[in-house]
């Protein structure tokens, strides 16, 4: 066997259960193992998927046990699919590569306080921020920040944001304007991160990194956070691509990110000033991977898997990725639908949506239980509508128009 054949007997471990990720790696003909909650064991067995059952709760001394299991299967790399598996991938890859620092780097991506500090030290523009351990910290932060903004008694405060150090999807996020808002905070919300408000249009990037280099940079335009976005971004935002690329590379360099996908969020002001929001290193939400595939014709899951593997060659990557922006076939957008009612009686999909040339498909459904689950962050939408077309402004207005629509009655 030559070197490449020897390599291909080693497994890639997908951390987290995701059918699109499994299909993607299957089509790549790469040997793999899925690590996921025990509930999926039966499905995996039935479908001949090599599976290791694992609960990704708090990372603990038992992580070595998972490493040993995977090492015994001849695994070489771990790919995180969900937020909770990012530090697990860090711990496992640290073992696989005999480089403990890989784990510490992954913690930067899991603790928003550490993340902001690291970014700030690298000269990346962030707001004012601090960790809060008690409500007093929040009162003081709000007061001092507004003093700095030269607000006087009676002026309206500039708001601050508080958020958990390690959650995603806006879970636990609060906008705070005055003392009463702070009074409402519960003891379990501490410690948390406090931040000044960042102005500007919010967007995300999906950067596929191999050997510390950006191989492909997608920019996703947020229309309404947690509800709708499209790919590629509109010409007005894409115009800033060279600046955005520089910022993403700065992030990659300072966070020492070598392999995989990152999903940073930024706020851009009218003059192009970029403020860094946060960065994740896993599959993004908002159906972004599906939209990338629709617009560019490559599987973003495969891209993530290929970029996570140090053995993937430069030639393979060049052949895999198309040209950014210019090779997009059109704009691909998604609208996540949240019922506005408490009890669902029926689905109401208007004819003019289905006949709109931008409409592609939807997967809204009548749920088994009619009671709508209480919403935590942007966790559980009840189906998605997919659009595709060649004009970003038409896309934007459609997404806005149908966000107001009551699909569930």
Ligand X SMILES: Nc1ncnc2c1ncn2[C@@H]1O[C@H](COP(=O)(O)OP(=O)(O)O)[C@@H](O)[C@H]1O
Q: Which residues bind ligand X (CB under 6 A)?
A: 127, 161, 163, 167-171, 173, 195, 197-198, 202, 225, 265, 277-278
Question: Minimum Å distance from CB 194 to ligand X?
Answer: 9
Q: Which helix (H) or strand (E) holds 143?
A: helix 135-148
Question: Minimum Å distance from CB 103 to ligand X?
Answer: 21
Residue with tokens 């290791």: 52
Q: In 248-284, which positions are buried (b, 16+ CB within 10 angstroms) versus exposed (e)?
A: bbebbebbebbbbbbbbbbbbeeeeebbbbbbbbbbb
Question: Minimum Å distance from CB 102 to ligand X?
Answer: 22
Contacts of residue 183, defined as CB under 8 A and 6 or more positions apart, other chains included, come to 135
Closer Cβ to ligand X, 7 or 201, answer by number: 201
Question: Minimum Å distance from CB 33 to ligand X?
Answer: 28
Question: Minimum Å distance from CB 308 to ligand X?
Answer: 22
Question: Minimum Å distance from CB 66 to ligand X?
Answer: 25
Closer Cβ to ligand X, 20 or 169, answer by number: 169
Closer Cβ to ligand X, 145 or 306, answer by number: 145
Closer Cβ to ligand X, 24 or 237, answer by number: 237
Question: Minimum Å distance from CB 284 to ligand X?
Answer: 10
Question: Minimum Å distance from CB 148 to ligand X?
Answer: 15
Closer Cβ to ligand X, 73 or 128, answer by number: 128
CA distances 291 to 226, 230, 390, Å, are: 15, 7, 14
Select from 287, 298, 321 the least CA-distant residue to 27: 298
Q: Quick one: tokens of 154? A: 């009676």
Closer Cβ to ligand X, 32 or 56, answer by number: 56
Contacts of residue 185, defined as CB under 8 A and 6 or more positions apart, other chains included, come to 135, 138, 162, 174
- Which residues partner with 361 through β-bridges? 386
Closer Cβ to ligand X, 84 or 309, answer by number: 84
Distance CA 174, CA 158 (A): 14
Evaluate whether 370 touches 409 at the Cβ level (below 8 Å): no
Closer Cβ to ligand X, 194 or 257, answer by number: 194
Residue number with the smallest Cβ distance to ligand X: 198
**What is the DSSP code (8-state) at residue 170?**
T
CA distances 43 to 18, 46, 300, 360, Å, are: 12, 5, 24, 30
Supply the angle between the helices 86-97 and 63-72 in degrees, to the nearest 10.
60
Q: Within its chain, how far is the Cα of 112 from the centroid?
A: 14
């Amino acid at each position: 066997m030559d070197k490449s054949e020897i390599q291909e007997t080693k497994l890639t471990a997908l951390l987290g259960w995701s059918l699109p990720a499994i299909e993607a790696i299957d089509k790549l003909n790469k040997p793999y193992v899925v690590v996921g909650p025990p509930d999926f064991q039966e499905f995996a067995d039935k479908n001949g998927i090599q599976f290791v059952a694992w609960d990704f709760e708090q990372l603990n001394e038992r992580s070595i046990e998972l490493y040993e299991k995977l090492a015994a299967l001849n695994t070489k790399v771990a790919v995180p699919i969900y937020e909770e598996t990012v530090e697990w991938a860090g711990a496992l890859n640290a073992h696989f590569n005999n480089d403990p620092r890989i784990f510490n780097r992954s913690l930067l991506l899991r603790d928003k306080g550490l993340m902001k500090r690291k970014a700030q030290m690298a000269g990346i523009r962030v707001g004012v921020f601090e960790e809060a351990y008690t409500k007093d910290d929040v009162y003081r932060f709000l007061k001092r920040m507004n003093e700095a903004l030269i607000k006087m008694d009676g002026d309206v405060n500039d708001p601050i944001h508080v958020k958990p150090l390690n959650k995603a999807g806006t879970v636990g996020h609060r906008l705070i304007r005055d003392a009463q808002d702070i009074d409402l905070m519960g003891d379990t919300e501490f410690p948390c991160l406090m931040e000044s408000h960042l102005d500007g249009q919010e967007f995300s990037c999906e950067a596929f990194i191999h050997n510390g280099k950006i191989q492909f940079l997608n920019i996703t335009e947020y229309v309404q956070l947690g509800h709708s976005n499209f790919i590629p971004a509109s010409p007005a935002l894409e115009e800033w691509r060279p600046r955005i690329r520089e910022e993403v590379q700065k992030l990659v360099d300072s966070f020492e990110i070598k392999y995989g996908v990152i999903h940073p969020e930024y706020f851009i002001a009218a003059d192009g000033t970029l403020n860094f929001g946060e960065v994740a290193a896993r599959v993004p939400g908002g159906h972004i991977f599906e939209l990338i595939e629709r617009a560019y014709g490559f599987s973003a899951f495969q891209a993530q898997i290929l970029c996570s593997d140090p053995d993937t060659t430069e030639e393979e990557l060049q052949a895999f990725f198309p040209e950014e922006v210019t090779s997009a076939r059109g704009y691909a957008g998604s609208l996540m639908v949240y019922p506005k009612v408490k009890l669902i009686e029926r689905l109401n999909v208007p004819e003019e949506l289905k006949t709109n040339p931008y409409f592609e498909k939807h997967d809204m459904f009548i749920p088994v239980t009619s009671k709508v689950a209480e919403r935590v962050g942007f966790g559980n939408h009840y189906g998605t509508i997919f659009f595709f077309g060649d004009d970003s402004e038409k896309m934007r207005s459609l997404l806005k128009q149908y966000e107001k629509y009551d699909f569930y009655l």
